Amino acid sequence: MARRRPGLRKRLALNIFSDLYASTVAEHRLTTLFWECTLRCNLSCRHCGSDCRVDPGVPDMPLEDFLKVLDEEITPHVDPSEVLIIFSGGEVLVRDDLERAGAEVTRRGYAWGMVTNGMALTEARLRSLLDAGLRSVSVSLDGFEREHNHIRGNSRSYDRALAALRMIVREPSLTYDVVTCVTGAMVPQLEAFRDMLIAEGVAYWRLFSIFPMGRAKNDPSLRMTDAQFREMLEFIRRTRKEGRIGTSYACEGFLGDYETEVRDYFYQCAAGVSVASIRVDGAISGCTSIRANFHQGNIYRDKFWDVWQNRFEPFRNRDWARRGACADCKMFRYCLGGGMHLHGDDGELLYCHYHRL
């Protein structure tokens, strides 16, 4: 509790940042576009926010549909070299046209990356993706073998993810990071896991907490206690000071006096401000973790750029979030109600990072 409220110097910096962020919101310049190209997956993870599966009953979005939006609605309004397109799922490697998608995006001048669990990545597949212009990769690795396989529901998932990571680390042209969803059981092992990543040559590591959405909603064993959450933040702070591996906490919520100590920047939710997503069914939203009640349109009936410019009001004006625990909170100016993905179907905040401290 002693570290909850930011000190005077940090509050002054936060005041300046909040003013700058208001300008960023007003400009809402698109810099990152997620394409949720599939909900199919080769795993059935216990913490999956999208409830993905081998046969999700939702067809993949045809590549041509995505490219049509890119060509007609996005490229005329942006500098492609300043927008990163991230292919996400599901598991993107289940699509056999991923290389074609990457090549088409690259041909249009965009950089592209992907998020993967690593199960289907081989040397040959990685080489073909690199030839198609792959620039960045996030690999999910949620702990040592026992913890990772338990969460992922597959006895081979740890070995496959680690093999994928080793291939990626060797590629000097790739920007990458390891993404870890931290459970309570993993907290005591964070130091040993960090040392393993360093030994594997990993340079960048991003840690998340598991939020109650999708399958994780009904599995409280995946979540950390408040004490474990604070212990994780202290671990990140120490690791960053040591400087042996680039480590950060995800862009999930406002962290009081931990701000700029566990991330390189003050907290902000970029969804709907600089980040947009096209969901597998054509829905237009912020990031892909946000619930359907915050979707702002659909590419099959709306013009993407019109939606981006003229909707997204709930993302850019957070006055609606000043209720419940946020109503009288003195940190609201900096937090603005936390990440959009942490608001339920009724708009209520599912949990507050600041109050967990």
Distance CA(7)–CA(256), nearest Å, equals 9
Task: Give me the residues of the chain with pLDDT under 50, please.
Answer: 1-2, 51-52
Question: What local confidence, expressed as pLDDT, does residue 21 receive?
Answer: 95
Distance CA(40)–CA(156), nearest Å, equals 18
**Count of CB atoms situated within 10 Å of the CB of 299:** 20
pLDDT tens digits for 8-27? Answer: 899 999 999 999 999 999 99
Question: What local confidence, expressed as pLDDT, does residue 210 receive?
Answer: 85
Question: What local confidence, expressed as pLDDT, does residue 3 receive?
Answer: 53
pLDDT tens digits for 117-153? Answer: 999 999 999 999 999 999 999 999 999 999 999 999 9
pLDDT tens digits for 160-200? Answer: 999 999 999 999 999 999 999 999 999 999 999 999 999 99
CATH fold, domain 8-356, is TIM Barrel (3.20.20)
pTM exceeds 0.85 for this model: yes
Is the torsion defined by CA of 98, 104, 106, 111 positive or negative? negative
**Count of CB atoms situated within 10 Å of the CB of 204:** 15
Give the CA dihedral 107, 112, 118, 121, nearest 10 degrees: 10
Question: What local confidence, expressed as pLDDT, does residue 312 receive?
Answer: 98
Question: What local confidence, expressed as pLDDT, does residue 50 receive?
Answer: 55
Strand partners, 134: 112
Between strands 246-249 and 275-278, the pairing is unpaired
Question: What local confidence, expressed as pLDDT, does residue 52 receive?
Answer: 46
Question: What local confidence, expressed as pLDDT, does residue 51 receive?
Answer: 46
Spatial neighbors of 146 by CB under 8 A, at least 6 apart, are none
Contact predicate 245/205, CB 8 Å: yes
Strand order in the sheet with 134-140: 246-249, 204-209, 175-182, 134-140, 111-116, 84-88, 32-36, 275-278, 283-285, 297-298
Ordered by start, the domain boundaries in the chain are 8-356
Strand partners, 33: 85, 276
Question: What local confidence, expressed as pLDDT, does residue 222 receive?
Answer: 85
Question: What local confidence, expressed as pLDDT, does residue 5 receive?
Answer: 85
Helix pair angle (123-131, 98-107), 10° resolution: 20
Across the chain, the runs of DSSP E, i.e. the strands, are: 32-36, 84-88, 111-116, 134-140, 175-182, 204-209, 246-249, 275-278, 283-285, 297-298
Q: Which of 182, 195, 204, 80 is nearest to 136 (CA)?
A: 204
Contact predicate 255/233, CB 8 Å: yes
Continuous segment of H or E residues that includes residue 106? helix 98-107
Place of tokens 């900096």: 334
On the question of a cis peptide bond just before residue 90, with omega within 30 degrees of 0, the verdict is yes
